[in-house]
């Protein structure tokens, strides 16, 4: 896609630190390293997000996510990893080409904060009922 930054990275129109590439998938270091080894894994075929990506591309991307997670963890001696994928602006997506963040974790003082709050006003029984309506 013409105006897509990640398509430009695929086509080498924008430089990047590529750490994995095959016919269908590319992985490169995020320009803004939340933690050491923060990597983005993308399909070469442009798709905006999880809602639009073809399932065969999704599978290939996530196979690479697993392989690179193991490799990054071992090479950088990470203690864990977060896999994050944002879809649509409401979820924090800023680049509209499907991508998965691999964020190796080291200790509680690294630069990623994830907090799962709990909304006491939401009753899971009612959510379940609505889902099954």
> Active-site residue numbers?
99
In the bound complex, what is the minimum distance in angstroms from residue 6's beta carbon to ligand 5GP? 8
Span interacting with ligand 5GP, options 25-33, 54-62, 102-110, 124-132, rule CB under 6 A: 25-33
Q: How many residues does the chain have?
A: 133
Q: Which does 4 bind (CB under 5 to 8 A by kind): Zn ion, ligand 5GP, none?
A: Zn ion
Q: How far is CA 101 from CA 37, 78, 92, in A?
A: 10, 15, 12
Picked from ligand 5GP, Zn ion, none, the partner binding residue 117 (CB below 5 to 8 A depending on kind) is: none
How far apart, in whole angstroms, are the C-alpha atoms of residue 16 and residue 29? 7
Q: Find the shortest distance in angstroms from Cβ 76 to ligand 5GP.
A: 18
With CB cut-offs between 5 and 8 Å by kind, which of Zn ion, ligand 5GP, none does residue 50 bind?
A: none
Task: Name 82's Cβ contacts closer than 8 Å, sequence gap at least 6.
Answer: 101, 103, 105, 112, 114
Residue 93, both tokens: 């997506």
Judged by CB, which is closer to ligand 5GP: 57, or 112?
A: 112
C-alpha 47/C-alpha 52 separation (Å) is 6
Q: Which of 8, 36, 45, 46 binds Zn ion (CB under 5 A)?
A: 46
Integer Cα distance of 131 and 133 in angstroms: 6
List residues binding Zn ion (CB under 5 A): 1, 4, 6-7, 46, 97
């Amino acid at each position: 896609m013409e105006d897509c930054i990640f398509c430009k990275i695929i086509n080498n129109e924008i430089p990047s630190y590529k750490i994995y590439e095959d016919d269908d998938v590319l992985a490169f270091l995020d320009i803004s390293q939340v933690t050491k080894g923060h990597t983005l894994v993308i399909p070469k075929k442009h798709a905006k997000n999880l809602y639009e990506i073809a399932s065969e591309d999704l599978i290939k991307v996530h196979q690479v996510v697993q392989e690179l997670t193991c490799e990054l963890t071992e090479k950088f001696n990470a203690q864990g990893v977060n896999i994050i994928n944002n879809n649509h602006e409401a979820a924090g997506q800023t680049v509209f080409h499907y991508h998965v963040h691999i964020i190796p974790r080291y200790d509680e003082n690294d630069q990623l904060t994830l907090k799962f709050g709990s909304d006491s006003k939401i009753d899971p029984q009612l959510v379940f009922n609505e889902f099954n309506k």
